[in-house]
Amino acid sequence: MSRRPPPPRREAETAPPPAARDLLALDGRRALVTGASGGLGEALARRLAEAGAFVICHAATRPERARALAASLRAAGLEADAAQADLTAPGAAAELLADAGGADLLIHAAARQDMGGVSDMAAGDWAAVVGANLDAARALLAAFAAQTDPVPRAAALVSSVEASRPLPGHAAYAASKAGLESLVRSAAAEFAPLRVNALAPGLIDRPGLAEQWPEGLARWRAAAPLGRPADPAEIADAALFLVSDAARFVTGTTLVADGGLSAGPGW
């Protein structure tokens, strides 16, 4: 069986490192944020735009929210546009990137979380979750890496602490996120010097969370050393780090942002 040769080694950069004040600046870069119609996606898009990037706010099923987000960013003097695509459709990822005029940075937050256990989830529902969370990510990464412009690129794929600590009834979601983290390691090796990392948040706060899931929130508060869920902006800050020059030697890994939950025995 033939094997693809490893990418050529690159010598260490001889130029001085960026100034500390410039490490998180994204001026002149185009960033695609998928799933920007959700709370986390909105925070991701907003933070990248604030850092200077031109942000393409993607949505699959709620394009009006992506358009409203892009409009609000432009009203604040930032650069943004909106796009819609079903990333599970064949060829949709490449078409999205082409229609957007390409991208230097990618944050992939689009996902679905259907409930069901290993034995009681219908095969079609399982396939739909894996298709949306893993297969679409593979297609998007491949299309992102296939761009020919010789510019430094970085991608951050949103995983979850459930990749290693699945909750009961979240089997398909947890398995797809575990696969996503493995995909990131493979892509980092295959697509270098493109940097590819994963970001694994813990519980993220949202309006109505305390009323909708009081027992889960209580267990999280008791188990996480920081004693609270994350604000979406805190996860966006971690994503900004991963795609910025501050992480220019970071690739093929998963950054966990869970308020310390992984340091404890579980929740």
260: left (phi over 0), alpha (psi -120 to 50) or beta: left
**Cα–Cα distance for residue pair 85/45, rounded to 1 Å:** 17
Q: Which of 54, 144, 173, 191 is catalytic?
A: 173
Question: Does the annotation count 173 as an active-site position?
Answer: yes
From 108, 188, 180, 107, select the one nearest 145 (Cα to Cα). 188
Q: 3-state SS of 14-77?
A: CCCCCCHHHCCCCCCCEEEEECCCCHHHHHHHHHHHHCCCEEEEEECCCHHHHHHHHHHHHHCC
Q: Is 142 exposed, middle or buried (0-12, 13-18, 19+ CB in 10 A)?
A: middle
Tokens matching residue 211 = 């009323």
Locus of tokens 């933070």 = 47
Q: Which residues, other chains included, contact 47 with Cβ-Cβ below 8 Å and sequence gap of 6+?
A: 233, 236, 237, 239, 240
Reduce the DSSP state of residue 256 to 3 states and report it. Answer: strand
Residue type, 237: D
Which residue stretches of 146-213 are H helix?
A: 171-191, 209-212
Active site residues: 173
